[in-house]
């Protein structure tokens, strides 16, 4: 599970990878081999991350005895999820907006006091800078409901998951949940704990776990030829959700392959930094993506594919350096910004709370 978390969070980097192009420019090169490479990396490694991380969160909370004390549980999740989210949003605002003013970085600037509030707390919309943070926002909402969910009978949980899926497909649920599907994934994680589904999927032959994702990916490729607007329809949203769930299953099975490989120990050593990577990666991409892009060129340039493939590795390296500096120079800040996951040296597995 710790291996899967690292792989999933690294995959998120591909979704937010620096391209050096604006929206209209991206549309203009759609269908080129470099754009196709970016799309495949996003779909294979990135789109599976949110459902898998949601399922893992539900699985873990279902096995926690401390969830019985609702007040203590919510306080702990506020410290480990909500507080780091707000602090990293504040850091992003300070650094990215300052770079936009001082160095002409093409990035959003404050438009109003309410815009700043939304960027910090992710109340009713996706932020413009730290666009990954709605996951933490909705995950905290799920954690608030977790003491009730873990006590609910399995048929009721299936009903909650089905309702969340319908709400996602028909674009409802705002502003309680910005991405209602996260509640579905979280609830499925609780069910997976009860039914030993995680172990059953891990025992599947690798090809069996990969086939549904491969088939749905092919269907999605064909569907996207009908135009990007198709994915905004209920049918397109249902297809996208099914493909994400299949991707999560495939990534979970592949994580077991990785966990049985010689790479396992190295992955586990960096796992305490995974949350830090999730929170900080877009700031790193905003600030340093254009600098490296000066050497490789934007999407469409000859050297760009190398940069694209290596972006998760580069972000990971920067995160490990940041984690090492924080744990040595400001251990209290390291603990707060990592949601309590960094205590001591970043290479040591952090105690689980």
pLDDT at 225: 67
Per-residue model confidence as pLDDT tens digits over 141-156: 999 999 999 999 999 9
Q: Where are the domains of the chain?
A: 2-267
3-state helix, strand, coil in the chain (%, to 5): 75, 0, 25
Is the pLDDT at 165 greater than 70? The verdict is yes
Per-residue model confidence as pLDDT tens digits over 99-117: 999 999 999 999 999 999 9
Percentage of the chain with pLDDT > 70?
95
Per-residue model confidence as pLDDT tens digits over 235-253: 888 998 999 999 889 999 9
Average pLDDT, the chain: 91
Is the pLDDT at 47 greater than 90? The verdict is no
Q: What is the pTM assigned to this prediction?
A: 0.93
Check: CB of residue 209 under 8 Å from CB of residue 257. Answer: no
* Residue 114 CB-density burial (10 A; 0-12 exposed, 13-18 middle, 19+ buried): exposed
Is the pLDDT at 344 greater than 80? The verdict is no
Tokens of 288: 């340093």
DSSP structure string for 198-267 = HHHHHTS-HHHHHHHHHHHHHHHHHHHTT-GGGGGSHHHHHHHHHHHHHHHHHHHHHHHHHHTSTTHHHH
Is the pLDDT at 349 greater than 60? The verdict is no
Confidence band for 172, pLDDT divided at 50, 70 and 90: confident
């Amino acid at each position: 599970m710790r291996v899967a978390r690292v792989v999933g969070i690294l995959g998120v980097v591909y979704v937010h990878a620096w391209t050096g192009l604006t929206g209209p420019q991206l549309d203009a090169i759609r269908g080129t081999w470099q754009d196709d490479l970016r799309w495949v990396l996003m779909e294979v490694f990135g789109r599976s991350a949110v459902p898998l991380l949601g399922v893992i969160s539900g699985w873990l909370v279902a096995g926690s005895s401390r969830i019985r004390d609702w007040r203590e549980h919510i306080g702990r999740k506020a410290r480990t999820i909500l507080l780091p989210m707000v602090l990293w949003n504040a850091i992003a605002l300070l650094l990215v907006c300052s770079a936009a003013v001082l160095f002409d970085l093409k990035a959003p600037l404050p438009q109003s006091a309410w815009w700043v509030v939304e960027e910090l707390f992710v109340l009713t919309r996706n932020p413009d800078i730290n666009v990954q943070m709605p996951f933490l926002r909705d995950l905290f909402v799920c954690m608030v409901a977790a003491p009730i969910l873990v006590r609910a009978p399995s048929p009721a949980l299936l009903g909650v998951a089905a309702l969340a899926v319908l709400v996602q497909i028909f674009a409802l649920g705002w502003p309680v949940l910005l991405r209602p599907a996260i509640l579905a994934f979280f609830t499925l994680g609780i069910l997976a704990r009860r039914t030993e589904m995680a172990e059953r999927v891990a025992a599947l032959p690798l090809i069996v776990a990969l086939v549904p994702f491969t088939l749905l990916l092919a269907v999605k490729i064909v569907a996207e030829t009908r135009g990007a607007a198709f994915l905004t329809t209920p049918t397109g949203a249902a297809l996208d959700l099914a493909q994400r769930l299949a991707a999560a299953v495939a990534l979970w099975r592949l994580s077991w392959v990785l966990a049985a490989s010689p790479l396992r120990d190295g992955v586990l050593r960096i796992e305490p930094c995974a949350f830090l990577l999730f929170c900080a990666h877009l700031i790193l991409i905003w600030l340093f993506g254009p600098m490296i892009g000066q050497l490789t060129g934007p999407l469409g340039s000859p050297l760009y594919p190398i940069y694209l493939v290596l972006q998760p590795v580069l972000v990971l390296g920067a995160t490990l350096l940041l984690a090492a500096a924080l744990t040595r120079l400001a251990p209290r800040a390291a603990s707060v910004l990592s949601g309590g996951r960094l205590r001591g040296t970043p290479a040591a597995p952090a105690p689980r709370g």
